[in-house]
């Protein structure tokens, strides 16, 4: 019996659908079907009654489900305990472009579970969100996508709709919501030189405009972006979660009704296998999986 068979079994038991179970596990449906059949052969029982239109768990399957859940749960706890022994007195360096309540939740949970580990936080500039990890300045970065850098591992966490930041005195500020076309001719707070081109183009809406925006104010951080909007007449786009953290009397945040969702990701070095980094990743995934579903407008990308 293999652990993956237990995972596939529980996925089918949860969804009662082989196709959806395969999507949850990011594998082909045929793999799920084959492994469930092998598991049934090994156990000598039928776990599911299935037809072309219906899947139903059997009494034997329901009984096995409880024990399979316990096995995987205890294994997860064992892995966490083993990693916990390795992280004591080590140093984890975390960076982010912008702070927000969810980032605080990640860090405070890590501190509580690993009180002997040393934790430091660095506010990264727009241009160093990825390069900070590549250069070894930080071990982990929380990044608003996109990123096309193949030197790092990118784990998408959740997605939400972006918002527009406009000067409180601007005519657009009187609207309840905006469309992308409302922003295309406005001067943008431009991400500074050195920012990955795909990131800069995404957040300044270049694809809809057909090129970069006008504007002569360059910014390196969320703090500078807010100042450029409040005092220099620029506009900008950012995540709704970040906007809630950067409340400012000179800035109005408005939903963009026809914008594409944007995603937050956990970025680490592609070759990193440090227990401390893995433990932080597990904590982040757990929090996103359990809590993002309840957040208005946010959609978890963690299965």
Q: What is the CA radius of gyration of the chain?
A: 23
Closest of 212, 207, 245, 199 to residue 226, by C-alpha: 245
Q: What pTM, to 2 d.p., does this model score?
A: 0.68
Domain count along the chain: 3
Query: Element (H or E) spanning 292, and its range?
Result: none
Q: Is the same domain home to 199 and 129?
A: no
Q: Is the same domain home to 242 and 170?
A: yes
β-strand 91-96 against 118-123: which pairing, if any? parallel
What's the pLDDT at 4?
A: 87
pLDDT per residue as tens, the chain (303 positions): 888 899 899 999 999 999 888 888 888 888 899 999 999 999 999 999 988 788 999 999 999 998 999 898 888 878 777 766 665 668 999 999 887 778 888 999 999 988 889 999 999 998 899 999 999 999 999 999 988 888 999 999 999 999 999 999 999 999 999 999 999 999 999 998 888 889 999 999 999 999 999 888 999 998 999 999 999 999 999 988 878 778 899 999 999 999 989 999 999 998 777 888 999 999 999 999 887 765 667 888 887
What's the pLDDT at 86?
A: 60
Range of the domain at 143: 88-155+262-300
What's the pLDDT at 296?
A: 66
Torsion of CA 249, 255, 259, 265, to 10 degrees: 70
Q: Is the same domain home to 129 and 274?
A: yes
> What is the CATH number for 39?
1.10.10.10
- Dihedral sign, CA of 51, 10, 155, 244? positive
Q: Is the same domain home to 143 and 180?
A: no
> What is the CATH number for 212?
3.40.190.290
Q: Cα separations (Å) of 128 from 95, 191, 217?
A: 9, 11, 19
Q: Is the same domain home to 248 and 285?
A: no
User: Which residues are CB-contacts of 163 (< 8 A; sequence separation ≥ 6)?
Assistant: 237, 238, 239, 240, 243, 253, 254, 255, 256
Residue finishing a domain among 85, 113, 135? 85
Residue finishing a domain among 85, 114, 131? 85
Helices (H), 16-149: 18-25, 29-43, 59-87, 101-113, 131-134
Q: Is the same domain home to 251 and 170?
A: yes
- Phi and psi at 214, nearest 5°, equal -80, 165
List residues bridging with 188 in a β-sheet: 235
> What is the CATH number for 109?
3.40.190.10
Q: Is the same domain home to 48 and 193?
A: no
Angle, helix 29-43 to helix 18-25, in steps of 10 degrees = 110
User: Which residues are CB-contacts of 22 (< 8 A; sequence separation ≥ 6)?
Assistant: 11, 28, 29, 31, 32
Q: Is the same domain home to 95 and 64?
A: no
Q: Is the same domain home to 92 and 79?
A: no
User: Which residues are CB-contacts of 46 (< 8 A; sequence separation ≥ 6)?
Assistant: 40, 58, 60, 61
Q: Is the same domain home to 66 and 92?
A: no
Cis status of the peptide bond prior to 146, with omega within 30 of 0? yes
Residue finishing a domain among 67, 85, 103? 85
Q: Is the same domain home to 75 and 142?
A: no
């Amino acid at each position: 019996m293999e652990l993956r068979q237990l995972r596939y079994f529980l996925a089918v038991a949860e969804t009662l659908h082989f196709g959806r179970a395969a999507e949850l596990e990011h594998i082909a449906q045929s793999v799920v079907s084959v492994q469930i059949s092998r598991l049934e052969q090994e156990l000598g029982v039928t776990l599911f009654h299935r037809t072309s239109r219906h899947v139903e768990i059997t009494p034997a399957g329901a009984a096995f489900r409880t024990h399979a859940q316990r096995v995987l749960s205890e294994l997860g706890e064992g892995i966490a305990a083993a990693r916990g022994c390795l992280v004591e007195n080590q140093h984890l360096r975390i960076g982010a472009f912008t702070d927000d309540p969810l980032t605080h939740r990640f860090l405070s949970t890590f501190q509580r579970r690993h009180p002997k580990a040393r934790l430091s936080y660095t506010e990264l500039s727009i241009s160093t969100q990825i390069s900070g990890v590549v250069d070894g300045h930080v071990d982990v970065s929380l990044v608003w996508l996109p990123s096309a850098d193949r030197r790092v591992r990118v784990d998408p966490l959740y997605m939400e709709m972006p918002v527009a930041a406009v000067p409180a005195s601007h005519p657009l500020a009187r609207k309840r919501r905006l469309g992308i076309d409302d922003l295309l001719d406005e001067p943008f707070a431009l991400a500074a030189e050195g920012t990955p081109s795909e990131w800069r183009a995404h957040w300044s809406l270049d694809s809809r405009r057909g090129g970069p925006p006008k504007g002569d104010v360059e910014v390196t951080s969320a703090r500078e972006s807010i100042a450029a909007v409040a005092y220099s007449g620029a506009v900008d786009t950012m995540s709704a979660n970040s906007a809630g953290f950067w409340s400012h009397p000179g800035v109005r945040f408005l939903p963009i009704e026809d914008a594409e969702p944007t995603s937050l990701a956990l970025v680490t070095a592609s070759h990193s296998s440090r227990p401390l980094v893995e433990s932080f990743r597990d904590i982040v995934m757990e929090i996103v999986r359990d809590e993002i579903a309840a957040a208005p407008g946010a959609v978890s990308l963690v299965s």
